[in-house]
């Protein structure tokens, strides 16, 4: 890690305010960027931005390469002359603090599909389709077929489509030409709005931190189009799936259900698919947080017919060779060059039960790991001589909590009295403004980067996700009135005092 001492905010794009049902890549994103700049922040960390699938989770996407067309900005479409206020006169009024995904998706797609169907081809659009064909062609066909089959998983499609028979796919491209073009247009518009947003944040000298889930969803174009890279039955169903054993979050572990990679097949291709995936991620963001990093060293393999994660086993991953090959491959791209170092662009999510081997892999790669303050006030740890919850290592990224945690206020309220006492004693506070005190501790830490969830900065809002549950997640939003000048000034003061 060769990073300057900085700080930033964790907030997913969907949580931004606005009148169109969910956050988007438009004026609300720019306003948030201006807030970050005025409060001295240099980082904006988001969650994955792929098209959402099961449970509306950004970590269960229909594609590892495509963008979520729901993030296309209605306001920017109006600026571009592709939409008018009149077209939105009957748009429903939604809760400003919670996303009703089924209704919001239906309402937004009705507008977006109309825009896409009326879109006139341009040289820029044609160039985009040609340049991105490697992933775009499969994605748009996949989405058209999924739509034609009532959004059922590709494993439930007719056998010839499921198994990608060449002549059947050729016929399908003609049969669903209109739908395919619609999804091409939506990806083009997403790309255009994304580039505008990224450029704006760069003018503010703010870097974007993206997020890569290590595993992909079974019901995704990635698995359908690359079956040889996963452990699957002839019908496309996974033979083994991903998850984690029993831990802090769940007594039965977490059975995520993602198909597992056939790492031997990936290695045989010199990790071509992963190289393209990382290249795409670095095109979109400046830094990438790799979720569940430990699985590159060893991962929890669960038989697909097991209902929980209890009866799994640890299996060795591709380890250091994977990252060495990846770095070598990425250096062949002109925009990166021979001096490109993954260590300058990757954060390793190394949470949970971490072994010495995982720590060694992280160290050998040079990736900064993560510290979560909610996890660092245990009785055993606090009695160790010289222990500090905020850590002593510079090569870390510190958070109060993440999208998987309760907000700090709720965490403190639910903690047992022993833990609350340890927190109050260490912070020398009464706990009444615990979120502010913990934010300040994160900012003062030796870690080069400190990232605060917006909910903790404001002391308002709810958690984004409850691990191990499939419903009721990812829906929190803030409204413009929730951020005050006092919040901005307090954050700026904390940042300056912490020399960030």
Determine whether domain 6-497 maps to CATH 3.20.20.80: yes
Q: Which residues is 9 bridged to in the sheet?
A: 44, 452
pLDDT, position 385: 92
pLDDT beyond 80 at 1: no
How far apart are alpha carbons 460 and 407 in whole angstroms? 8
pLDDT band with cut points at 50, 70 and 90 for residue 147: very high
pLDDT, position 469: 82
How far apart are alpha carbons 451 and 443 in whole angstroms? 8
Find all residues with CB under 8 Å of 495, minimum gap 6, and list them: 7, 39, 40, 41, 443
pLDDT beyond 80 at 137: yes
The segment with the largest mean pLDDT, out of 239-248, 447-456, 462-471, is 447-456
- Condensed to tens digits (0 to 9), the pLDDT of residues 305-329 reads 999 999 999 999 999 999 999 999 9
Closest among 84, 74, 140, 137 to 109, alpha carbons compared: 74
Q: What percent of the chain has pLDDT over 90?
A: 94
How far apart are alpha carbons 163 and 152 in whole angstroms? 15
pLDDT, position 152: 96
Mean pLDDT of the chain: 96
pTM as predicted: 0.96
Average pLDDT over residues 234-263: 91
pLDDT beyond 90 at 456: yes
pLDDT, position 249: 66
- Condensed to tens digits (0 to 9), the pLDDT of residues 358-371 reads 999 999 999 999 99
Q: What percent of the chain has pLDDT over 70?
A: 99
pLDDT beyond 90 at 467: no
pLDDT, position 2: 66
Give 150-211 as a DSSP string.
TT--GGGS-HHHHTT-HHHHHHHHHHTHHHHHHHHHHHHHHHHHHHHHHHHHHHTT-EEEEE
pLDDT, position 16: 98
Structure token pair of residue 460: 């308002």
Look-up of token digits 């005092």: 497
Active site residues per annotation: 291, 349, 404
Average pLDDT over residues 388-408: 96
How far apart are alpha carbons 304 and 308 in whole angstroms? 10
CA distances from 283 to 194, 226, 276, 325 (A): 10, 22, 11, 19
- Condensed to tens digits (0 to 9), the pLDDT of residues 277-302 reads 999 999 999 999 999 999 999 999 99
Structure token pair of residue 199: 């450029």
pLDDT, position 352: 81
């Amino acid at each position: 890690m060769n990073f300057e001492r900085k700080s930033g905010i964790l907030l997913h794009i969907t949580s931004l305010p606005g009148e169109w049902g969910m956050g988007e890549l438009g004026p609300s994103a720019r306003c948030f960027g201006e807030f970050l700049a005025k409060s001295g922040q240099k980082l904006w960390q988001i969650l994955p931005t792929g098209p959402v699938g099961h449970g509306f989770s950004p970590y269960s996407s229909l594609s590892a390469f495509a963008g979520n067309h729901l993030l296309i900005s209605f306001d920017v479409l109006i600026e571009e002359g592709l939409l008018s206020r009149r077209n939105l006169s009957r748009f429903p009024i939604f809760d400003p603090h919670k996303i009703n995904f089924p209704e919001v998706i239906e309402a937004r797609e009705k507008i977006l599909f109309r825009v896409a169907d009326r879109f006139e081809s341009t040289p820029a659009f044609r160039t985009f389709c040609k340049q991105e064909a490697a992933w775009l062609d499969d994605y748009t066909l996949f989405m058209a077929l999924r739509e034609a089959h009532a959004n059922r998983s590709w494993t439930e499609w007719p056998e010839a489509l499921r198994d990608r028979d060449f002549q059947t796919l050729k016929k399908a491209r003609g049969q669903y030409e209109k739908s395919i073009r619609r999804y091409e247009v939506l990806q083009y518009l997403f790309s255009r709005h994304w580039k505008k947003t990224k450029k704006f944040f760069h003018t503010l000298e703010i870097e974007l931190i993206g997020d890569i889930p290590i595993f992909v969803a079974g019901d995704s174009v990635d698995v359908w189009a690359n079956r040889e890279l996963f452990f699957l039955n002839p019908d496309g169903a996974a033979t083994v799936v991903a998850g984690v054993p029993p831990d802090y979050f769940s007594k039965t572990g977490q059975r995520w259900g993602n198909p597992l990679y056939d790492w031997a097949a990936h290695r045989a291709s010199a990790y071509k698919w992963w190289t393209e995936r990382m290249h795409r991620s670095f095109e979109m963001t400046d830094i990438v947080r790799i979720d569940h990093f430990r699985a590159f060293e060893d991962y929890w393999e669960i038989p697909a017919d097991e209902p929980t994660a209890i009866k799994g086993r640890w299996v060795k991953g591709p380890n250091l060779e994977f990252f060495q090959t990846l770095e070598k491959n990425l250096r062949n791209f002109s925009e990166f060059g021979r001096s490109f170092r993954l260590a300058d662009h990757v954060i390793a999510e190394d949470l949970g039960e971490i072994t010495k081997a995982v720590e060694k892999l992280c160290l050998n790669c040079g990736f900064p790991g993560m510290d979560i303050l909610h996890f660092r006030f245990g009785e055993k740890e606090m009695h160790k001589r010289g222990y500090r919850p905020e850590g002593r290592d510079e090569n870390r990224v510190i958070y109060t909590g993440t999208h998987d945690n309760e907000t700090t206020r709720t965490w403190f309220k639910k903690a047992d009295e022993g833990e609350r006492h340890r927190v109050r004693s260490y912070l020398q506070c009464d706990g009444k403004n615990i979120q502010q005190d913990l934010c300040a501790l994160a900012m003062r830490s030796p870690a080069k980067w400190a990232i605060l969830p917006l909910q903790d900065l404001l002391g308002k809002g709810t958690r984004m996700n409850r691990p191990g549950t499939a419903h009721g997640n990812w829906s929190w939003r803030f409204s413009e009135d929730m951020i005050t000048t006092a919040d901005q000034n307090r954050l700026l003061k904390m940042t300056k005092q912490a020399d960030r």
